[in-house]
Amino acid sequence: MGDMANSSIEFHPKPQQQREAPHAGGFGCTLAELRSLMELRGAEALQKVQEAYGDVSGLCRRLKTSPTEGLADNANDLEKRRQIYGQNFIPPKQPKTFLQLVWEALQDVTLIILEVAAIVSLGLSFYAPPGEESEACGNVSAGAEDEGEAEAGWIEGAAILLSVICVVLVTAFNDWSKEKQFRGLQSRIEQEQKFTVIRNGQLLQVPVAALVVGDIAQVKYGDLLPADGVLIQGNDLKIDESSLTGESDHVRKSADKDPMLLSGTHVMEGSGRMVVTAVGVNSQTGIIFTLLGAGGEEEEKKDKKGKQQDGAMESSQTKAKKQDGAVAMEMQPLKSAEGGEMEEREKKKASVPKKEKSVLQGKLTKLAVQIGKAGLVMSAITVIILVLYFVIETFVVKGKVWQAECTPVYVQYFVKFFIIGVTVLVVAVPEGLPLAVTISLAYSVKKMMKDNNLVRHLDACETMGNATAICSDKTGTLTTNRMTVVQSYLGDTHYKEIPAPSALTPKILDLLVHAISINSAYTSKILPPEKEGALPRQVGNKTECALLGFVLDLKRDFQPVRERIPEDKLYKVYTFNSVRKSMSTVICMPDGGFRLFSKGASEILLKKCTNILNSNGELRSFRPRDRDDMVKKIIEPMACDGLRTICIAYRDFSAAQEPDWENENEVVGDLTCIAIVGIEDPVRPEVPEAIRKCQRAGITVRMVTGDNINTARAIAAKCGIIQPGEDFLCLEGKEFNRRIRNEKGEIEQERLDKVWPKLRVLARSSPTDKHTLVKGIIDSTTGEQRQVVAVTGDGTNDGPALKKADVGFAMGIAGTDVAKEASDIILTDDNFTSIVKAVMWGRNVYDSISKFLQFQLTVNVVAVIVAFTGACITQDSPLKAVQMLWVNLIMDTFASLALATEPPTDSLLLRKPYGRDKPLISRTMMKNILGHAVYQLTIIFTLLFVGELFFDIDSGRNAPLHSPPSEHYTIIFNTFVMMQLFNEINARKIHGERNVFHGIFGNPIFCTIVLGTFAIQIVIVQFGGKPFSCSPLSTEQWLWCLFVGVGELVWGQVIATIPTSQLKCLKEAGHGPGKDEMTDEELAEGEEEIDHAERELRRGQILWFRGLNRIQTQVCWGGQKG
């Protein structure tokens, strides 16, 4: 790796570097020195630091920074550092240009066929055979020559080319705007990334991109390191370096053993300070990027870039909540630094099972392939029939002989037939589908931003609509995460409110203040309110803030205590993690002894207490019997009020009896209890209503928390998760595990199936329990259909559960980077109500696509049948190629825009989830599609065969080649479009509602498109002339067309009256591919099917089917700072 990395220095030569090689810009280290330093690990690295700089503070001096005060916040100095050492930014891949997108859209097979046909048609129209013989070649536009119409033969070919260009531009523009939207989303995410650094002795939040070499950064549990650095001081720091080394074991870091911290790695435990030594392309992650960037692996680069810069360094007030530590990360896919490309491929593979394939996508792929095949067959039959008919008619019935000079004329006929066939295919294949899906998802994603949902994976949005279960955290999601101490037990007395300081013995008060001030992260603090009359600001871990607030309420201050004993004077810190459920700090006493302060979950810590302080501040023994008393009389009543109980204790060691500090169980034992406090975290006022909505929508809400079971039950009752009189289970993690594991301690699915349906609250749960529960619910086969599970999480250890869930929600404020990394959606306000909004949007996406399908398929059925029968009976499609393309354009592009942007309504939450195997096209929709198709076909065939009599005009049937457009066929075309326009309004409702106009003005896009299409149609008919094969219509004829169109709305009401239940014969279509029935061969076959479909379907679909990864990883997280 070393030499590879060095070789990549040449990529970014810095002018200063060469000029002032020994001491770049007056700093005592060059870029190259620092880079070679960062490649060493462990003892080597330590040795190198000692040889070259003496120690880490020597390195800080060379970099002109202070280990305690940090850099002076001086713009010139920071700029100079950026000039010399680079900036913390990895340049993204260039977005595709508009022309590239146009070129991609042109690759589409049907369009290429049309282009070829159009060019052949153009070529032939310019070749005029000798005039006298043309009579002999069959009926070519009799008497057309004198009107100069023959010259107009080129128009059709040109018009087809023009419409192809239109379609291509529209497709390319859609792709382009989609990409642009995601880049916007990206830059917004990037600006939100902050990291804590010390400048001028102050803790500051700076954007990750603003970090410079020499900055002193605070690292803490849950961070994703944004740059390389050397540790100055650390407490119990453990790092997950699997993203660089592939080693899944956490690496212990300490200033005297292994001080090297690398970008892109995760802090799994502890805290510390580091001096930044490499940023951007010079950091370890940056070097790997630079190596990858040489080839065509930009996708990987984007992918990783997302990794590195994603969801980033949360601001200090959102310090990771520490009730969860860091176990169960073994599920992280392993990667190695050298195999940059491999690891990405592997990682993709590793993360594939997480989402098999979005449910909707599976259904759509299947449906589109079926429709595509049908269209191909229809168009082939059409062409064959036309050719046979012509050949038999000309050479058999009329007995003509094929003459050489007639060949161009005959070829022209064949080209015309071919064009008709292709037109049928173009109309049959719903290329608007991928477009509708993309528009609908992109629109939803954009709107969900306003509802505090930051969507990282497009399909999560749609999966959310199918959710049947939500496993939510308690703290911060259901509650406000503003904690306050409301009850306490001090010196043998249970205080229901804050005691007066005078009521407490000075010794107890003093111990309590010290225990709280010192034994908490120094980043947690209470700041004065921003506005007058507001509440003081809590910064850092909320539980610790509640305790610090308690100190302030006792009229004491924690700041002086911390100033007297600064963080680097702490002798040993055992940081909080979910295994310990406690935190302890050791300080040195003036007499050479040590004092340990400990705080943690009361049940756990009381077991380690052997003494307790009485009302005079003296020790009295605390036996197991006293402990049971305490639990019954103090802790349970507090917990039943929904309070979280924390025990605060201490222990003294004399100078003579210094213990082995590594043996934690021995050190944190034999404690003396100072106090028990009850901390309240009030339920968010809007949560009970949101949970009621979920339950009404058929979604079960479960609470998974690390809290005491009584506290959890009390909060669950307040939220409405459990209702009195219901049959439900509230379990603790231990009991849960006992019930689901067999004698060997293995988890059994059937045992789990007995537990989860009734389980509502899982208390005192470890992250592994959460993962087990989620996996158990997802893998369960007990219900009619597979459960779709959403999970919220904020801690580093929630990663596996978030990844396993169908939709993982990470907290935007309190969430750690690791959690955000594993999630699909980030809740920017940490609020449960935003999840309900996500459900609404998800269901809306599903409905929008169904609306579009209902509309699209009606058009397809009608157009294909009309073109097919028309061609067979009259040798000419009543709807011409160009008209078909226009119909295709309004049907596909515009309709997908109009129907995919319908805003969601609350009524979406009144029905049960659709479930994974519900077909896309329900019986009701099938009824609507066929019902409207019958109406439209009746009208069109009536017009085709008796229309000329009704309107008293010339018949357009059996017109010769190149004849001028007839009014007859124009009326058919116009009526067809009018019916589609009014049917578009019908399509707004898919559940058989009567009022199709409900909320129509709430969607300006819809109104604009319907009116716009109508206006363009008038222009086409009145002024389209030869290219559109239209002749102008009179007002009366227009009114008839409109009248027939409005008939669609009336007919829609008639169809709505027919009860769907009576129509057993209607089949549903578009089932998702069933999981069980897919054998390996079928899966392989499915892949071929899609390959086959590629020949039939638009490139848009292929991109959609094939490239969902591309959309997810690359578009969502790619192209930063594009």
Instruction: Show which residues are catalytic.
Output: 473
* Alpha carbon distance 116, 107 (integer Å): 13
| Nearest-10 Cα torsion for 121, 126, 128, 134 | 30
For residues 1008 and 848, what is the distance between their CA atoms, to the nearest angstrom? 18
Rounded CA-CA distance 504/889 in Å is: 81
- One-letter identity of residue 106: L
For every residue of 306-347, which 3-state class applies, written as one string?
Answer: HHHHCCCCCCHHHCCCCCCCCCCHHHCCCCCCCCHHHHHHHH
Write the CB contacts of 417 (distance below 8 Å, at least 6 apart in sequence): 383, 386, 387, 390
Question: CA geometry: angle at 166 spanning 164 and 170, to 5°?
Answer: 120
Asked whether the beta carbons of 251 and 241 are under 8 A apart, the reply is yes
**Amino acid letter for position 561:** V
Distance CA 799, CA 895 (A): 40
Q: Tokens 């079928």 map to which residue?
A: 1082
**How far is it, in rounded angstroms, from Cα 800 to Cα 328?**
7
10 Å Cβ neighbour count for 531?
Answer: 6
Quote the DSSP letter at residue 959. P
Residue 308, CA atoms < 13 Å, CB-side half-sphere: 31
Q: Calculate the dihedral angle through the C-alpha atoms of 798, 606, 271, 665, rounding to the nearest 10 degrees.
A: -100
Question: Hunting for tokens 């959403």 — which residue is that?
Answer: 790
Rg (CA), the chain: 36
The CA distance from 388 to 366, in Å, is 33
Contacts 24+ apart (CB under 8 A), 388-397: 389/872, 389/875, 390/414, 390/417, 390/875, 394/138
- Number of Cβ within a 10 Å radius of residue 1042: 16
d(CA 892, CA 767): 47
Angle, vertex CA 19, rays to CA 16 and CA 21, nearest 5: 90
* Burial class of residue 410 (count of CB atoms within 10 Å of its CB; 0-12, 13-18, 19+): middle
1115 DSSP 8-state letter = I
d(CA 434, CA 1104): 6
* Exposure on the CB side of residue 1005, measured as CA atoms within 13 A: 14
Which residues, at least 6 apart from 77, have a Cβ–Cβ distance to it below 8 Å? 64, 71
H helices of 559-633, where? 559-564, 602-606, 624-630
- DSSP β-bridge partners for residue 431: none
DSSP bridge partners of 620: 612
User: What number of helices (H) and strands (E) belong to the chain?
Assistant: 43, 26
3-state secondary structure of 277: strand
Asked whether the beta carbons of 936 and 879 are under 8 A apart, the reply is no
What is the three-class DSSP state of 704? strand
CB neighbours of residue 429 within 10 Å: 28
Q: Quickly count: other Cβ atoms within 10 Å of residue 519's Cβ.
A: 26
User: Distance (Å, rounded) from C-alpha 696 to C-alpha 485?
Assistant: 35
What's CA 732's distance to the chain center, in Å?
32
Amino acid at 167: V
